[in-house]
């Protein structure tokens, strides 16, 4: 059923309603989230994506959480845009390890048209391997978004990160509206939207309410909603902020699941700091997607053997790729 015909899919959430969900007794909240989850998804299936940083560091933006900002003092080996064959090799490895989607991230404020040509070759080649494709490249113009769609891109990741109220404390080099504008271009180009945020950046409970309100009250819910727990990176302004209570993270997943019942909710960054039991509760709360592979973009992720064992212990299965658009185009190198 299209989202617009489904009365359970709402875009008019009030802050009061969302706060009431957060304030439910934990068991009531998780029961409600799991009940809704089962109405729309196989509760034992998890979508897995593998990430690759295709261009690392030296980003002109000043995001307070990010190791890749040129304004932060994080120790990081900078890399120029990776060559196509290296990207294809990593994508092949991800596919062989069971990932259904390959997400390529670049530390840009926005891509230049020349860089976009190269990313388009990567998308075509990765898609040729039978993987779904996702890229996260910063802000896009309408024209650039259309070019990505023509290349066959399945998902574009662009996070709102936090509430509009807290945004200026975290990032000053772009506005919330800039983020919303790019999301609108992506939606209008008919590319699946991947958008979520980060929890544990010293935000208030009201900021979590407000972030989820922004995401769920978009004209159409993002198909994929990554909920990241801040990975504290030394040398970034947010290093040393008070650590999050794991139960608050699980609550955020549950509320996201209830508000966006047909979206994939991704248990994203921060899993190396979480116990297996916390992750199990995230899955129970309605998370049905993870990043799989030893590395996120620049920081560590649990190793694949550990994740496979956790899946086995929980009886979880990896979902297969669901390619939304076939493309007959060939990458410039002809290596697909
Ligand atoms: N430069 C592009 C952008 O900002 O959209 C794409 C890459 S950026 C690294 C992608 C997302 O990673 C950010 O929007 C943020 O939500 C997440 N992220 C970055 N650093 C993080 C950290 N230390 N902990 C958790 N999430 C992080
Ligand atoms: C998302 O929401 N989280 C991913 C992906 N989308 C691009 C990135 C997490 C980055 C964590 C910090 C790092 O590895 O640099
Ligand atoms: Fe740059 Fe993206 Fe990191 Fe912000 S989150 S500094 S835009 S790479």
Give the number of the atom of ligand 1 that is nearest the alpha carbon of residue 108: 1
Q: pLDDT tens digit string along 151-172?
A: 999 999 999 999 999 999 999 9
In 129-202, where does DSSP find H-type helix? 142-150, 164-170, 176-188
Helix 15-23 crosses helix 205-216 at what angle (to 10 degrees)? 120
Please state, in angstroms and rounded to a whole number, the distance separating the CA atoms of residues 116 and 153.
12
pLDDT at 134: 97
Per-residue pLDDT at 30 exceeds 70: yes
Give the range among 3-17, 247-261, 263-277 with minimum mean pLDDT: 3-17
Q: pLDDT tens digit string along 190-241?
A: 999 999 999 999 999 999 999 999 999 999 999 999 999 999 999 999 999 9
pLDDT bin (cut points 50, 70, 90) of residue 318 is confident
How big is the chain, counted in residues? 336
Residue 180 corresponds to which tokens in the numbers above? 């919303």
Per-residue pLDDT at 1 exceeds 60: no
In 3-state terms, what secondary structure has residue 9? coil
Catalytic one among 134, 187, 271, 282?
Answer: 134
Please state, in angstroms and rounded to a whole number, the distance separating the CA atoms of residues 212 and 241.
22
Mean pLDDT (whole number) for 28-42: 96
Q: 183 vs 77, which has greater pLDDT?
A: 183
Ligand 3 pocket by Cβ (under 6 Å): 59, 61, 63, 66, 68-69, 107, 138
Please state, in angstroms and rounded to a whole number, the distance separating the CA atoms of residues 34 and 49.
22
Mean pLDDT (the chain) is 91
pLDDT at 50: 96
Give nearest CA residue, ligand 1 atom 11. 159
Ligand 2 pocket by Cβ (under 6 Å): 51, 67, 103, 105, 136, 157, 159, 196, 226, 228, 231, 268-269, 296-299
pLDDT at 335: 41
Instruction: Write out the E strands in the chain.
Output: 45-55, 101-106, 132-136, 155-157, 192-194, 197-199, 224-229, 264-267, 289-291, 317-318
pLDDT at 332: 43
Check if the beta carbon of residue 295 is closer than 8 Å to that of residue 301. Answer: yes
Q: pLDDT tens digit string along 67-100?
A: 989 887 777 777 789 999 999 999 999 999 889 9
- Provide CB contacts within 8 A for 228, sequence distance 6+: 159, 196, 197, 198, 199, 268, 269, 270
Q: Is 155 exposed, middle or buried (0-12, 13-18, 19+ CB in 10 A)?
A: buried
Please state, in angstroms and rounded to a whole number, the distance separating the CA atoms of residues 84 and 335.
9
- Considering only CA atoms, which of 68, 75, 133 is closest in space to residue 104? 133
């Amino acid at each position: 059923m299209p989202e617009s015909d489904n009365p359970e899919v709402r875009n008019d959430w009030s802050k009061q309603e969302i706060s009431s969900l957060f304030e439910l007794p934990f068991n009531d909240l998780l029961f409600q989230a799991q009940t809704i989850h089962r109405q729309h998804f196989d509760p034992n299936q998890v979508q897995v994506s593998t990430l690759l940083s295709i261009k690392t560091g030296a980003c002109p933006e000043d995001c307070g959480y990010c190791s890749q900002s040129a304004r932060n003092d994080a120790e990081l080996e900078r890399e120029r845009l990776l060559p196509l064959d290296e990207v294809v090799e990593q994508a092949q490895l991800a596919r062989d390890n069971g990932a259904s989607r390959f997400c390529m991230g670049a530390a840009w404020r926005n891509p230049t048209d020349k860089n976009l040509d190269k990313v388009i070759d990567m998308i075509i080649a990765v898609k040729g391997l039978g993987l779904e494709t996702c890229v996260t490249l910063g802000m896009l113009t309408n024209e650039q978004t259309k070019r990505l769609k023509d290349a066959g891109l399945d998902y574009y990741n662009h996070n709102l990160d936090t509430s509009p109220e807290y945004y200026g404390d975290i990032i000053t080099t772009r506005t919330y509206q800039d983020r919303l504008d790019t999301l609108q271009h992506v939606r209008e180009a008919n590319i699946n939207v991947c958008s979520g945020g980060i929890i544990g950046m010293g935000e208030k409970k009201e900021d979590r309410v407000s972030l989820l309100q922004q995401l769920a009250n978009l004209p159409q819910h993002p198909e994929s909603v990554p909920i990241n727990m801040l990975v504290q990176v030394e040398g970034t302004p947010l290093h040393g902020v008070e650590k999050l209570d794991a139960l608050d993270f699980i609550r955020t997943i549950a509320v996201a699941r209830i508000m966006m019942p047909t979206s994939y909710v991704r248990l994203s960054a921060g899993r190396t700091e979480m116990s297996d039991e916390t992750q199990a509760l995230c899955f129970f709360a309605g998370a049905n997607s993870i990043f799989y592979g030893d590395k996120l973009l620049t920081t560590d992720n649990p190793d694949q053997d550990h994740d496979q064992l956790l899946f086995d212990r929980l009886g979880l299965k990896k979902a297969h790729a669901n390619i939304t658009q076939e493309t007959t185009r060939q990458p410039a190198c002809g290596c697909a």
